[in-house]
Amino acid sequence: MSDEDGYFGVSVAATYDESSAEMFEPTVVDPAVSVLAELADGGRALELGIGTGRVALPLAGRGVPVHGIELSRAMVDRLRAKPGGDAIDVTIGDFATVRVDGTFSVAYLVFNTIMNLTTQAEQVACFRNVAAHLEPGGRFVIEVMVPELRKLPAGQEIVPFHVSPTRWAFDAYDVATQAMSSNYVEVVDGRGSYRSIPFRYVWPAELDLMAQLAGMRLRDRWAGWAGEPFTSESERHVSVWEKPADD
């Protein structure tokens, strides 16, 4: 995973909550927290890429002990500044490889964060790292987009997702390597800025194979946290893999 200062350093952390405000709405957060609390079933939860605590704080508020892994100290500083943030243990490091003490009933990666691992090898390592942290019967949950390649006419590599008088945002795809980037251009007080964040998009079936390599099996796949059926038209999925109870 890339160095924290390159993509999620102080300047990004300072405005992260505001720039992703729609993801902090209770109508978005509450269904995810309800599912994760049910899967935790009285046990501990491990959040990979805990960020500023969008999910961890309300999950902890439901009585679920949460431990986080996060590469960016600046994002953790924002978490610590929030009510209840000091009560959540966070390990600084790469969630594909870093180990923490104890085992967990559920581990989770939300809001496309699995794509922050920009190689297939790193994504496979993440599944193996999670499996090593889960108790027998534990679950691993990922919320991630379905790659939007159907929006690409032949020869096109760009999918815009935000256009306004002062802000433009688009994803760039390389279909040969599954590399992509999210790019942002913003004009404030007549001055422009540009930011690009690299990702690696990943298909549902590919994730299932990664889980199999880590000794887990698919338990559920939905189009959202409310348990909507996943279909060929779904733009994202919430997938749950399970570590065998007799492992």
H helix intervals, 62-162: 73-80, 120-133
pLDDT for 1 equals 58
pLDDT at 222 over 80: yes
Grade residue 6 by pLDDT with cuts at 50, 70 and 90.
Answer: low
pLDDT at 129 over 80: yes
Domain regions of the chain by residue span: 4-146+202-242, 149-197
- In a 3-state reduction of DSSP, which class is residue 195? strand
The percent of residues in the chain predicted with pLDDT above 90, rounded, is 90
State pLDDT tens for residues 78-115.
999 999 999 999 999 999 999 999 999 999 999 999 99
Q: Class assignment of domain 4-146+202-242? A: alpha beta
State pLDDT tens for residues 53-71.
999 999 999 999 999 999 9
Grade residue 139 by pLDDT with cuts at 50, 70 and 90.
Answer: very high
Contact 75, 52 (CB under 8 A): yes
State pLDDT tens for residues 161-187.
999 999 999 999 999 999 999 999 999
Q: Is the pTM of this model over 0.85?
A: yes
The vertex-112 CA angle with 151 and 71, nearest 5°, equals 140
Among 237, 236, 2, CA closest to 119: 2
Contact 74, 114 (CB under 8 A): no
Cα-Cα-Cα-Cα dihedral sign, residues 116, 55, 143, 111: negative
